[in-house]
Structure 1
Amino acid sequence: MSKKNTDWIRHAPGSARLERIEAYFSGNAYAMHRHDTYAIGSTLAGVQSFAYRGSKCNSLPGGTIVLHPDEAHDGQAGTGDGFHYRMIYVEPALIQQILGGQALPFIKHGISSDPRLFAATLPLLQAMDKPMDALEEQDALFDLAHAMHNCSDKLAGAAASKLHFDYQAAERAREYIHSAITDNITLDELADHSGRDRWSLSRDFRLLFGTSPYRYLTMRRLDLVKSLLMQGYTLVNAALAAGFSDQSHMSKHFSKAFGLTPLRWLNMHGKASRPG
């Protein structure tokens, strides 16, 4: 690939469970950011470099990238040829539903050479131009969750397994957040709806879903912002409709979560910028 290629992102259609993308970047891709999903994928061409957990990682074709929820990372081309990749973003709640409320799988170095994990990601990274059948996607997610569990760093998993947590209470709190994402939710409200005291709930939520309740709420608001922007909403109206106090507040969180400003994100999707 050439540097003359324009940076682009394409989203696979048709899934309410996870986001699947294919993208190309010629140089700097993302500033340091963190999102509350797993980012799992493969580099198709070039060298995909990123800072992660204090180290510089270089992903090449044939390996599997597995970034843990809420871990800061960036992204850039490791050579002058740019990099081409495919990625899926999977909510920890989906992994929890499959594994039954265990500690989240953790891949220590962000890149795995384990063939089990590579094989499990392939069905989800194929045919990005069309939606997957519902059962096909569910089967693939089942295989992926178990591959991640089997390839997980055992020391981290053993330490987490010693903690006592209430998965059902945390799930009730998560569901309540989805029902009230534009409201000013408090931890006391979440505790009331979950049936667990607020500090135990806060700890359990982090362990089971990889992020804090407030971060989870913010990310769901940002998901709504992205959907509204793709529908043609202005930045101001999308921010207010999603529960942010103003456009500036939304834009700050957007950049921290995705490593791109809302305007650059729109431009890379071929959408006209509508700031107000």
Structure 2
Amino acid sequence: MALKDWAVRAPKTKLERMEAYFGGFGFEPHRHDTYAVGRTLAGVHSFRYRDDMKHSLPGGTIVIHPDELHDGEAGSAEGFHYRILYIEPALLQQALGGTTLPFVPDGVSRDPRLFAATQTLMQGMDCQIDPLEEDDAIYDLAQALAAVSGVRKRRRTLDYVAAERARHYIHCALDSIITLEELERASGRDRWSLSRDFRVLYGTSPYRYLTMRRLDQVRSQLLSGQSLIDAALNTGFADQSHMARHFKKTYGISPARWLQMLRRS
């Protein structure tokens, strides 16, 4: 029995994210005034783009430039399952600092840099993405698009004092939701320049730095006898599963197993 077409959208933030399945015909030729960046999860996603037929398979990244005509259909009998996000060019420009818009002419890229940069934004629609995590992902996507398309970066001066203000603010608000806008106000540095400076000066992004400091507290609280759920909520994570996902991503092991191993030793 053939599957029915379906689609689900994530709650709207700075980006619009969608996941869908089409068993055959997908959609008529149309244009967006945004970038459409997607990933085929299963099957073959075929579409006409710039007078040619493109075929997206799992492992690649779809990049459709604003105002480019395209359609969509299944390229195989099993249909196609995909996730896609829509991002305004102005948002990419803010992250890039005012350069030529990145352009990926083929519509599909197998470049691993682009695939890696979209990992956070290509999570399931029910996966919560923190505001600062989303800003980090937007920055990474902008840089990857620029690298893949050959856009040259402008040289800019680092502001260490502003980055230190932002880092101090993070330490004072570990149990709160922090946005890049807040770090901008706290540091006196525009958000995207601050995001770039932070990576250069501290070797990681603002969100990654925040997450690591929260996980430091989680480990301390677990060792002092706090439950997994209490440790998660006390340190600014949305819930236990949110904390556990980041814990395993960081340390390669679940928090419960980590604690169990320490107790055994």
TM-score (norm 2): 0.56
Secondary structure class of the residue paired with 2:145: helix
Identify the match of residue 12 of structure 1 among 10, 16, 25: 10
Query: Which residue of the partner structure matches residue 112 of structure 1?
Result: 109
User: Is residue 143 of structure 2 the alignment partner of residue 122 of structure 1?
Assistant: no
Secondary structure class of the residue paired with 1:141: helix
Query: Which residue of the partner structure matches residue 92 of structure 1?
Result: 89
Task: Work out which structure has the larger RCO, using CA pairs closer than 8 Å and 6 or more positions apart in sequence.
Answer: 1
The alpha-carbon deviation at position 138 of structure 1 amounts to: 0.4
Query: Which residue of the partner structure matches residue 79 of structure 2?
Result: 82
User: Is residue 3 of structure 2 the alignment partner of residue 36 of structure 1?
Assistant: no
The alpha-carbon deviation at position 8 of structure 1 amounts to: 1.0
- Deviation track 1:110-141 (CA, whole Å, cap 9, x = no partner) reads 00010000000111011321331000000010
Distance 2:132 2:62 in 1: 25
Runs of 5+ unmatched residues, structure 1? 162-276
**Is the radius of gyration larger for structure 1 or structure 2?**
2
The alpha-carbon deviation at position 88 of structure 1 amounts to: 0.5
* C-alpha distance 28-108 of structure 1, shift in aligned 2 (>3 A): same
Query: Which residue of the partner structure matches residue 52 of structure 1?
Result: 49
TM-score (norm 1): 0.54
Which residue identity is paired with 1:46?
G
Distance 1:88 1:14 in 2: 11
Distance 2:103 2:148 in 1: 8
Query: Which residue of the partner structure matches residue 246 of structure 2?
Result: none
Distance 1:62 1:38 in 2: 19
Identify the match of residue 70 of structure 1 among 48, 67, 70: 67
Query: Which residue of the partner structure matches residue 134 of structure 2?
Result: 137
Distance 2:100 2:8 in 1: 32
- Deviation track 1:35-90 (CA, whole Å, cap 9, x = no partner) reads 11100011000000000001100000000000000000000000111000000000
Distance 2:47 2:136 in 1: 30
Distance 1:131 1:72 in 2: 32
CA RMSD of aligned residues (A): 1.5
Query: For this pair of structures, how many residues does the alignment match?
Result: 153
Deviating above 6 A after TM superposition, structure 1's stretches of 4 or more consecutive aligned residues are none
Secondary structure class of the residue paired with 1:125: coil
Secondary structure class of the residue paired with 1:79: coil
Matches within 5 A, 1:93-242: 93-152=90-149, 154=150, 157=151
- Deviation track 1:208-251 (CA, whole Å, cap 9, x = no partner) reads xxxxxxxxxxxxxxxxxxxxxxxxxxxxxxxxxxxxxxxxxxxx
